[in-house]
Every structure is written in C-alpha cells, then in structure tokens.
Amino acid sequence: ALGQLWLAGVEVDWSGFYTHEHRHRIPLPTYPFERQRYWIEPPQARDDNSLTPVSLEKKPDIADWFYMPCWKQSVPPRPIKQKELASQKSCTLVFMDECGLGTQLIEGLQKDNQEVITVKVGAEFTKINESLYTLNPQQSNDYNTLLTELRQQEKLPTKIVHLWNVTPVTQAQSKLTEVEKIQEIGFYSLLFFTQSLGKQNLSEQLQITVVSNNMQPVTGEEVLSPEKATLLGPVKVIPQEYPNISCRSIDVVLPSIGSWQQQRLTDQLLTELRLPIFERVIAYRGSHRWLQTFEAVQLEESVEQTPRLREGGVYLITGGLGGIGLVLAKHLAKTVRAKLILIGRSAFPARHEWDSWLATHEETDSTSRKILKVQELEELGAEVLVISADVANLAQMTDAIAQAQQQFGALHGVIHAAGVPGGGVIQRKTQGEAQSILTPKVKGTLVLNTILKDVQLDFLLLTSSISSILGAFGQVDYTGANAFLDIFTHHKTSQQNSLTLCINWGTWQEVGMAVNTARPKELQEWYIESLQQGILPEEGVDALMRIFRSSLSQVVVSPTDFLSLLKQQNTDSDLLSRLEKVNISKPKHPRPELNNAYVAPRNEIEQKLADIWQQLLGLEQVGIHDNFFELGADSLVGVQLISRLKQELQVKISINDIFRSPFVAELALIVELIIIKELDELTEEEAQKLVLDISSK
Ligand SMILES: NC(=O)c1ccc[n+]([C@@H]2O[C@H](COP(=O)([O-])OP(=O)(O)OC[C@H]3O[C@@H](n4cnc5c(N)ncnc54)[C@H](OP(=O)(O)O)[C@@H]3O)[C@@H](O)[C@H]2O)c1
C-alpha cells in the first residue's frame, strides 16, 4: 500500500517509517557486470494513444472547428550501431522500384545482417532464385503464392519495404491513362498483399513501410503525383484492422542516381527501417525529416453573406441530389439565385413527367423526394438542370457540361460532392468493391479536371473527409479515395492560379451518407449518439462560408476536438470497447432455426468458443456446427471474437480464420493448433503456467 501511495506521488516520511530498523547502504550491482544490453522497447504508438481519452463534446463556437495540415520538422532518429543490429536479425521483403533506390537499400540491409527477399513487378509469378521473385501486381493470387513459397522456405518477412511507388518523375502526371496503373502498384498491391498476409495467420508483429516519391506537398514546390495518395488508405487502415501490423508512409524526392544525396537518402531510410514504427506519415526533403501534423485555426463568421459567390452564378454540383449537395444547392439558390447543374448517376424523370410521378408515387419515394427538393430550389429563385451522368465517365461528363454551358453559359464554380461510402474489412474486400468507392473521387476528379482545364473557375471545391487523415475501420478504399482529393488539391493549386479547395468534413447529421448508410445493429445506438455531435446542415453552410473567406486550400472541419481524434487514430479500442459494452446488455435470444441440428460442445475449447459466440450474438445456444454468419455475425463481431480470444486464451487468430472456418468445431481446431505450437516453444514451467492461466479463465 505504501508503494502504491509513493507511486501516486505521496511524500513518504521514510526516516519515520524506518525508525525502529537498522539500515545500511550496499554497493550495486550485486552481480557481475556483464555489459549486455537489455533493450526496453519503447511502447508502440498505438499503446500511448489508446490511453488518451478523446473528447466527443461538440465545440459550441464554429470558429473552433477548423484545422489545417502542416509539416513539422522533426529530429531524425538516432542511427543504431552495427553491433546492436546483429541481435535484431530478421527477414525483410523489398518490393523493388526501378529508380535504383531499392538496390542501395538492399545493400545496406544486407550489411545490417538482414535476410532480404526482393520482389519485382512482372507479367506473372516467377521464382528467379531463392531471394528474387516477380509477380503481377493485378493478380491477387500471386501475392498468396509468394508468401506460401516464403513460408515453405521459413523466410516469412517481419519487415516489408514497399518501393513500387518510387517512380520516375514526369511533369505530366495526373493523366487519366496513368491513374489505373498507379493504383495497381500502389493501393491494390497493398490491399492484395495484406489479404495474403492475413491468410498466413501470422501472429508476429510486422512492419510495412511504404516509400513513395513526389506524393506529399511538404515544401509546396514538389511536382506532385496525387494518384499515389490512395496508398494512404492502406497505410492508415491496415493497423486498425490488423493489430499485429504497423504501417508508415515515407515520401521522398529522388536525388540523381549515384550522387552523395542519394547515399544520404538511403542512410535516412535505413535508419528508419531499423526502428519500430512510431509515426505514420513521414517525409524526407534533403537533409530534413518532416512529420505531418495539424494545427487549429480560428475562422470567424463571414461578414459577407456570400463570399466568392456571384449573383446568378452558374454552379455545377456532382452528387448534387445527395445530402450535402442539396444543402449547398439550397444555400446557392437562396443567397445568389444561382443557376444550378445537379449531377448524379440515378435516372431522373424529365421535367414534364414530374407531376405524374409525384401523383403516382409516395412522398417517401427517393425520386419524389428529389423532385420536391428541386422544386423548392426553384421556388427559392434558382434555375435548375438535373443531368444523369457518371462523373467518372469522360464522354457522359463532356456531354453534361456542354449541355449546361449551352443552357446557362460559362461555369463559375464546381462542387465535386459525388461519392460512395465504403464498407467492409480489407480481408474481404474485392477489387470491384474498392474500385466503386475510389472511382467517383479519383477518376471523377480527373475527368472534371480534364474537361475544365481551360475554364477559369472562381472555385473548385472537393468534398473530402476526416477519414482520409484518421483512417476508418472497414473503409480502406474510402480513406484512400479522400486522401487522393487532399493531395490533388495541392497539386492543382501548384499548377493553376485559381482556387481549388478541399474540405475534410467531419460527420454531417440529418443529411447525407453518414445518416443513410446501414450500420451493423451492434453499432446503431452508438452511431445515433455520435451523430448528435455531427455537423448540422446550417452549420456546414456557415463553415463553408468561413472557409471561402479564408485563403486556405485544405481545411478540416471537425466539431469535436480533431487533435485528440488524431492522437487516437492508431487504435480501434474505442470501437471495440463500445461494442463490448453494447453486448453486455444484450438480451438473450433462442438459437434460430438452422438447417443443421444443435450439437453441443465436446471439449473445453469448443465450450469456450461457443460461450463467447453466445455472448457476442446474444444467443442462448450456439452449436458446434452452426455457421456464425447464419447466426447473424458480421466482420465487426468477428473482430470482437479475435479480441476476446486474445484476452481469454492468449491466442491470436485472424479475421480470415473466421471467414474460412465459421464454425465452433473448425475454429476450435485452429485454436488448438495455435496453442500446441505456442506450448512447443515454451519451457515446461512456462507451459504449465499458460495452461493454468487459460483454464482459470
Ligand atoms: N455526409 C457526411 O457525413 C460526409 C462526411 C465527410 C465527407 N463527405 C463527402 O461529401 C460528399 C457528399 O456526401 P453526402 O453525405 O451528401 O453523400 P450522399 O447523400 O450519398 O450523396 C452522394 C451523391 O453522389 C452521387 N454519386 C455517387 N457516385 C457518383 C458518380 N460516379 N457520378 C455522379 N454522381 C455520383 C450519388 O447519386 P447517385 O447514386 O444517383 O449517383 C449521391 O447522390 C461525398 O463525397 C462524401 O464522401 C460526407
């Protein structure tokens, strides 16, 4: 008790405490000094952050909701000495670039006594020799073959250095034709590789370092390749979905080959690679190391009611019939009697059909609601043209913009609000699913940019999200898509003297995708509660007017403290603890009718698994041959199971295990194998302790 008090900072009167005892000093250490260092590993960034409580209070003054990205110079990490490195021997997998950076890095890694496996882009999977492979980035199976091969050779990597986004720099980036190729070697390569890692059921800590060049606007003078920025989706979301993988992005500018500056860059990267991952977004420019941070900025209420807007101006809004699109359209209608072009993919009846549509459909019908909204805009003074087109389709958008210009004349502003919410963990994500989320933002922006390249706009407003910075569980594609918008803004600003503006919106309440997206039932209550801290439509408009008045080009709008959210970005503990609370109070339901009969657990592990599933699903019984997904589980429940197994049996399974073996009986075998493998590696004493620990839980 006294020790606890001392730890808590209480001043203890030690002389009083020892009054009746004879004390004397002894020399330390009492053992031979062996000069062997025992490194105390600094805690991983995620551990630090999970301790920080996040304030979810909505700030009362909108002026306090704004943050801007900045780059802060940071002290380069201290190089580790050669001797210390010998004890850190591990296998590193290098996704090799074609600019020579990888070649130098590999030499350095080998000098560090690291085993290096290299993988190059090729037409198909090929084993060139024991440590050199090629694979086709588009073939997800090639990544599986690579890892299976490495497992057979007992050379599964613990460090991965992904250099495929280090590419030759050309001024003419951001071309529609380039974008898909860059996604293949960037976003999809990381997605497929992570899925393959997931299938390997690794429990070791893994580090993925994704190196790119010319992706981050650190100095404002770089030639930028915003297409690469989607890789930030995997960098942010992989650690949120795979607790044993940490990721970082390091952006560089390539010095000329063979120069001393290239050697310096190699040394800088080697030093980073030798250390655990603490920071998520890093950049090197010359001798300087930079970290991305965010700073609060106060934006006072706009004195002008309509900054940057023209009376009777012509404004095109993609996603114009969506939640945020319609709110902004209403403001433009009300304040400047704008001429509005609203674009969405869904079919929309021609004007002469509106009355009959309204007469024959319920008011709750989504098209009826849109017709009524458009009529409201017109009553407020706007002229409205609704066009059905896909923003990512160059031909459809060329026609749409030609039609708009013919009807209203030159465009004055564009709001790109088309977007689709993401959903689904990396392990289950198909290329098609990810593409549908990336396309409207990535290709859509490039299509608009191509068509409008000679149009001098008053503004181009891109609607990004705070998830591009924070990442979001189950949203690797949405995170990447919005990261593209952020960096495209800086690219465009460096190229053209007109306003391109990107807003990283926090969640909106009352309208839009956050309200309309279906949530897993376990999270419904929490979402309803957290939505109340979101941006109300009139607050969103107010925020936009304040931003229009400022000269900022990328702004975060977050009613809750964004800097606290940022500190917590590496942890999913908030989500998990909420899920756990929800389940404790969950009522018990009888086991639903399934095609298979109930079979009771036959041993302790099956019983443990069945108990956990029963609690998570709120069921009275789960049989050993019941399919979890038929019982109502989803990936979030799966993540809870992983966390419970880690807590209760000290066993780490992957989300892929659950998808592959969604039955108590099958999963119990996997758990058993893991326990046997772990026991094999322990001393007899440690093994007995582990068995006692497990059986006492
Ligand atoms: N709501 C939020 O809390 C929030 C927060 C941060 C950022 N954002 C961003 O703000 C923007 C607007 O969001 P919202 O909440 O208003 O979403 P929303 O209500 O779902 O509206 C999005 C609109 O985009 C249209 N759309 C999607 N893909 C398209 C494509 N390829 N071409 C043309 N139109 C397309 C959809 O219409 P069709 O299906 O008919 O095409 C839909 O009407 C999105 O980009 C979103 O990522 C929203």
Same domain, yes or no, for 74 and 202?
Answer: yes
Q: What is the pLDDT of residue 118?
A: 98
249 secondary structure, DSSP code = E
Whole-number Å distance between alpha carbons of 527 and 506: 14
Q: Are 275 and 159 in contact (CB under 8 A)?
A: no
Span from the CA of 418 to the centroid of ligand 1 (angstroms)? 4
- What would the pLDDT profile of 268-312 be if each residue is shown by its tens digit? 999 999 888 989 999 999 999 999 999 999 999 877 778 899 999
Residue finishing a domain among 545, 571, 597:
571
Tokens 């690469």 belong to 228
Same domain, yes or no, for 185 and 231?
Answer: yes
The share of the chain scoring above pLDDT 70, in percent, equals 87
Same domain, yes or no, for 468 and 616?
Answer: no
Residue 103 falls within a domain, yes or no? yes
Same domain, yes or no, for 33 and 139?
Answer: yes
Same domain, yes or no, for 498 and 646?
Answer: no
**Among 318, 324, 556, residue to substitute to test ligand 1 (most atoms within 8 Å of Cβ):** 324
Nearest to 349 by CA among 369, 326, 376, 325: 369
Residue 375 falls within a domain, yes or no? no
Q: Residue 534 CA: which ligand 1 atom is closest?
A: 3
Tokens 């209070």 belong to 57
Enumerate residues 6+ apart whose C-beta is below 8 A from 407. 339, 385
Residue 400 falls within a domain, yes or no? no
Span from the CA of 356 to the centroid of ligand 1 (angstroms)? 27
Same domain, yes or no, for 141 and 262?
Answer: yes
Whole-number Å distance between alpha carbons of 255 and 276: 26
Q: Say if ligand 1 is within 6 A of residue 540 CB.
A: no
Q: Residue 513 CA: which ligand 1 atom is closest?
A: 15
Same domain, yes or no, for 506 and 596?
Answer: no
The CATH code of the domain that includes 534 is: 3.40.50.720
Residue finishing a domain among 517, 539, 571:
571
What residues of the chain score a pLDDT lower than 70? 4, 7-9, 25-56, 81-88, 171-174, 518-524, 526, 569-588, 634-635, 690-697
Span from the CA of 322 to the centroid of ligand 1 (angstroms)? 6
Same domain, yes or no, for 174 and 271?
Answer: yes
Residues of the domain holding 631: 586-695
Q: Residue 418 CA: which ligand 1 atom is closest?
A: 24
Residue finishing a domain among 571, 601, 630:
571
Residue whose Cα lies nearest atom 20 of ligand 1: it is 513
Span from the CA of 280 to the centroid of ligand 1 (angstroms)? 28
Q: Is 693 helix (H, G, I), strand (E, B) or coil?
A: helix
Q: What is the pLDDT of residue 13?
A: 80
Q: What is the pLDDT of residue 50?
A: 42
Cα 585 to Cα 412, 526, 618: the distances in Å are 54, 14, 9
**Among 330, 345, 438, 484, residue to substitute to test ligand 1 (most atoms within 8 Å of Cβ):** 345
Q: What are the phi and psi torsion angles at 134 (to 5°)?
A: -120, 155
Same domain, yes or no, for 460 and 590?
Answer: no
Q: Say if ligand 1 is within 6 A of residue 558 CB.
A: no
Q: Say if ligand 1 is within 6 A of residue 508 CB.
A: yes
Residue 381 falls within a domain, yes or no? no
Residue 165 falls within a domain, yes or no? yes
Q: What is the pLDDT of residue 33?
A: 45
Residue 532 falls within a domain, yes or no? yes
Q: What is the pLDDT of residue 407?
A: 97
Residue 127 falls within a domain, yes or no? yes
Q: Residue 391 CA: which ligand 1 atom is closest?
A: 32
Enumerate residues 6+ apart whose C-beta is below 8 A from 386. 320, 321, 342, 343, 344, 348, 370, 374
Same domain, yes or no, for 439 and 539?
Answer: yes
Same domain, yes or no, for 55 and 93?
Answer: yes
Q: Are 294 and 563 in contact (CB under 8 A)?
A: yes
Same domain, yes or no, for 42 and 161?
Answer: yes
Q: Residue 507 CA: which ligand 1 atom is closest?
A: 3
Q: Are 249 and 281 in contact (CB under 8 A)?
A: yes
For the chain, the domain total comes to: 2
Q: Say if ligand 1 is within 6 A of residue 338 CB.
A: no
The CATH code of the domain that includes 610 is: 1.10.1200.10
Residue 475 falls within a domain, yes or no? yes
Q: Say if ligand 1 is within 6 A of residue 425 CB.
A: no
Whole-number Å distance between alpha carbons of 292 and 239: 18
Q: What is the dihedral of CA 85, 88, 90, 94, to 10 degrees?
A: -50
